[in-house]
A and B are shown apart, each in its own frame.
Chain A
């Protein structure tokens, strides 16, 4: 790999979006105004081009070794290098960066038209683009960073951008509340995350990935000599450290997991994501579907050595992911807000990714992350286009039969939905199937949950599609529906291509089989192997058996693939029957199981439970503390501040301005010092 080229590329990837954001933020209000999107489009687009070049570089290099580049050393020699701006370029980074920057570019282009109509009276336009650029910059820090401090910096910075953009329409109380909720819920997770990073520092004394992961690996292998020379400590310390490492890694992993659970909206901290839909649609597409929420998965794969070390931890992650996947999918069944359906679907799909990581199929999780980024961004942008046409209304009960009014939106969203539903040969099919496969290898129950969720996914996705686009044409009163312009449709079409074909990065064509049979585990998995090696080492026999040859053998071997394809089609057909052929059927079901529907409609009462169990008591505690603060603490503080004031007053009275007084003061002070010294000696 060409190191100087990669250095320049990573600087470009980091600085271009930042420069764009700065430009839009600084010049926007006075000079650029309606043209504020240009600097951000160029910045983010430039970063995307640089990311693809970087990917080509990494892919072109024969052996995929990681490359650390120290861009900047903040504290100079003699201080210890505990904060360096260093980047790690390896296959995982090379996959993540193009996904982030490419989708971001499309979203920014989309926003040019969308935000014209959904802007904000107070400098809405330039503010939006500045924040978006800032987000891309933060996300690139998160993905490129070569140590845990930079990871944390990016992690918190994307959280901040998310907060700012959810609350973009801040004069709307629900948006302001949603922003606050997202921030606070994430803080719970990030508290654990921060503790995890502190614990890494306490254990290893370093924060850069190279040293920490190597030390963790050596510690697990009880390779004391290598550990001692790596951290330049003596053998006794190294022996102790090796013992500590094996016992501490699971704790570190669980603490880091807290952060991932918050950021990637898993049980029990998922509650912020549905509310985050208060933000503009492009934000939902970019931040709350394609990029930021996948940071947790990225982090777990990045820290593979730490997470894969303990079987219990990975099993826990798998159970958490499976539970979240099916939990969110059931809620999505009855929602009527298009963006909220998609939000629950995102939670469910992130659950799949967790399941993949927990089932030691990290490569598949990253693969699903990539395909999901395409089709979910597409669906959110499509929903935005529908909302745009419907004059800001997004409830599927209030419109229908839009397929002739919004033909291109419909077509692209249909592709996205099919990909999400796992329709055979589309992007989601390949990646989801792999995760389900890995889940079966881990535990049968996990696999079954995965399959059931796949069925539910197909159903709720097409329920949304049929309700919105099929049936008789209905639009809300007073809305003149129209298809969006090309700034919206072009990104949709490009993403639709991604939803169609991005799955083929993850398959390979089997030479000998029937019709050149398509096999899972393609280019992307091989590419990611150096990164996912810690997981693979722990995988039992997952994907160990060679692909069987011959048609029947292939059928036998690939039964799961056919089953999930079948389930997806079944789900779509059921949705068709329920919402197109016999629209009265859902009513009957609802009437038959009123309680179940009630529970699902209220999202299992989790928000209510949190409110009663956590928020309300905390609020009462807060009130109590406030009272205590007013009466007790303020009193004490006031008393304390009186002391320095009194000091000050008394000194000031000495400060009369008379020369003789000053001279006397100096002499007296000196005399006091000398007397004190004489007494003490």
Chain B
């Protein structure tokens, strides 16, 4: 088959790869030949154009058709469509927020790394082979190590980058070790979807159960690292603190999103019909992650560290949706479908987390970045607009109406409550959701501290607004999205329909073929 036959279905990914390389190349001659402002701005602007183009192409392509020509190892699914829209959408905002970085000369490298990371995210969603999945996740991660180092000329940034790299390498090693077990357990294949007969045969024997458990646990260890789930969360505060604020916003989104998509891929091999031990491990990790993240965050005074631990806690909430899994009911929205709820929350989290970090990034205190909670005290008096944006994003993180965060939490918890008693994991999931609700209440304590600092305290320090109009635009978009997504029906239903339309198509259909699902499959062009 001619290679170009694969192009139409994967055009956004191609655009991103080519674009990332092009931006990287921009760096070399520009620095030498074209002096002045133009060479500084070009990489960032080109990166935005490339991402935006990919986003437009994704929207134009729409839901991938079932007969899309897929090269070996890749699969076009509705999950891919959702990740394209969500990832590239937030990606554009990310680029805007980071347009003023870095101050040094490596601008081309910096923006191409963001593009590569985004590309990795898309390929993670497209992967239909464990090896491709592994490479894709590493494509997301490796650029982020570099990004942390490039953001600012600060000792802490370099230290954070090195730590992040070594721990990431260790997690990758564990993950690929897990994949090797799965390779054995699946009977010598690494294909994710479409190896029906073999996997079902393999899953039936006892010896393979142990292999599956071992493989999944080790693979999930790698996923946990990406999610910053306990006990793989320890890097998170140092790295977030070390990187510049807006890059911390990126770190809360790209690796986490990729990790969740990878987790969906892993569980979809078995159509969520995995040995109960694995679900229990996920359960415990989710519960501990939420609790540990929230309780440590309570003690922090550095806003970036608070947000870092809040990021840990949010991973715990999202894992609830992962354990619930997709709903087999036709037309189930995110209120019933855990995977939809989780993926909706992930994109939402990306925006609100980025918004909060972007507000921090906009502020500077005599050239230094603003990090301590004392620095944002009385923000409302100095910059009412920024204070409002901060309040909106933080309320959304807290899950407080009228912000979209409320809906995100409602979706996730309600998906857990709605699994019903006949579900084998129904009871524990309800307990987990209750733990989640309690954790949301604990979390409110430190989120409200941020809002109270902005509004209820007297302004004691002088801060300047830095970062230029692009960063402020990102702040406005992120905080505006919180209100918009709360009100808008279309955005939510888009998330719902996109994701419920067979996230993990083929394997789920095998697990339980309901007429509606089958009908919808064939009806979806």
A residues contacting B by CB (< 8 A) are 72-80, 644-645, 647-649, 651-652, 654-655, 657, 659, 661-663, 665-670, 672-674, 676-677, 680-681
Contacts and interface: CB of A to CB of B under 8 A. Distances in A.
Given A645-B295, A666-B225, 19 more contacts: A76-B490, A76-B496, A77-B333, A77-B493, A77-B497, A78-B336, A79-B335, A79-B496, A644-B294, A645-B298, A645-B299, A647-B296, A662-B167, A662-B235, A663-B170, A665-B234, A673-B217, A673-B221, A680-B277
A672 B284 CA distance: 12
A655 B214 CA distance: 28
Q: Which secondary structure characterizes the binding site on chain B?
A: helix
Interface string B152-196: 000000000011001100110010000000000000000000000
B221 A644 contact: no
Interface in B196-245: 210, 213-214, 217-218, 221, 225, 230-232, 234-235, 237-238
A681 B277 contact: yes
Interface in B268-322: 277, 280-281, 284-285, 291-292, 294-296, 298-299
B352 to A, nearest CB: 20
Given A77-B496, A666-B167, A666-B234, A652 B299 contact: yes
B422 to A, nearest CB: 19
B43 to A, nearest CB: 32
A670 B489 contact: no
Given A666-B231, A666-B234, A76 B296 contact: no
A80 B281 CA distance: 33
Contacts of A659: 162-163, 166-167
B100 to A, nearest CB: 29
Interface residues of B, number: 49
Nearest to B170: A663
A82 B163 CA distance: 49
A136 B363 CA distance: 42
B435 interface: no
Contacts of A647: 291-292, 295-296
B457 interface: no
Contact of A669 (B232, B235, B497, B500): B232
19 contacts: A76-B333, A76-B493, A76-B496, A77-B333, A77-B496, A78-B493, A79-B335, A644-B442, A645-B295, A645-B299, A651-B292, A651-B295, A659-B167, A663-B167, A669-B231, A672-B231, A677-B280, A680-B277, A680-B280
Contacts of A77: 331, 333, 493, 496-497
B382 interface: no
Given A72-B489, A648-B299, A654-B234, A662 B163 contact: yes
B436 interface: no
B221 A670 contact: yes
Contacts of A663: 166-167, 170
A668 B221 CA distance: 12
B69 interface: no
Contacts of B235: 662
A72 B486 CA distance: 13
A78 B167 contact: no
> Which of A72, A79, A651 is the most central at the interface, judged by chain B CB atoms within 10 Å of its CB?
A79
Contacts of A649: 299
A96 to B, nearest CB: 27
Contacts of B163: 659, 662
A78 B232 contact: no
Contact of B332 (A78, A654, A680): A78
Contact of A670 (B162, B174, B291): B174
Given A77-B496, A644-B298, A648-B296, A666 B171 contact: yes
A644 B441 CA distance: 13
A674 B218 CA distance: 9
Contacts of A645: 295, 298-299
B492 A75 contact: yes
> Which of A75, A78, A667 is the most central at the interface, judged by chain B CB atoms within 10 Å of its CB?
A78
Of all A-B residue pairs in the complex, the 10 with the closest CB atoms, nearest first, are A669-B231, A76-B493, A78-B333, A644-B295, A79-B333, A662-B234, A648-B299, A648-B295, A647-B295, A78-B331
Nearest to A660: B166
Contacts of A674: 214, 217
A78 to B, nearest CB: 3
A78 B277 contact: no
Contacts of A668: 231
B235 to A, nearest CB: 6
Interface string B474-494: 000000000000010110110
B326 interface: no
Given A78-B336, A79-B496, A677 B213 contact: yes
A580 to B, nearest CB: 59
Given A662-B167, A666-B231, A651 B296 contact: yes
Contacts of B336: 78
A662 B292 CA distance: 16
> Which of B277, B285, B295, B442 is the most central at the interface, judged by chain A CB atoms within 10 Å of its CB?
B295
Contacts of A680: 277, 280
B334 interface: yes
Contact of B238 (A652, A657, A667, A681): A657
A80 B284 CA distance: 31
Contact of A677 (B166, B281, B299): B281
A680 B217 CA distance: 14
A319 B514 CA distance: 58
A159 B442 CA distance: 32
B493 A681 contact: no
Nearest to A664: B234
A669 B213 contact: no
Contacts of A666: 167, 170-171, 221, 225, 231-232, 234
Contact of A78 (B237, B299, B335, B490): B335
B285 to A, nearest CB: 8
A589 B380 CA distance: 65
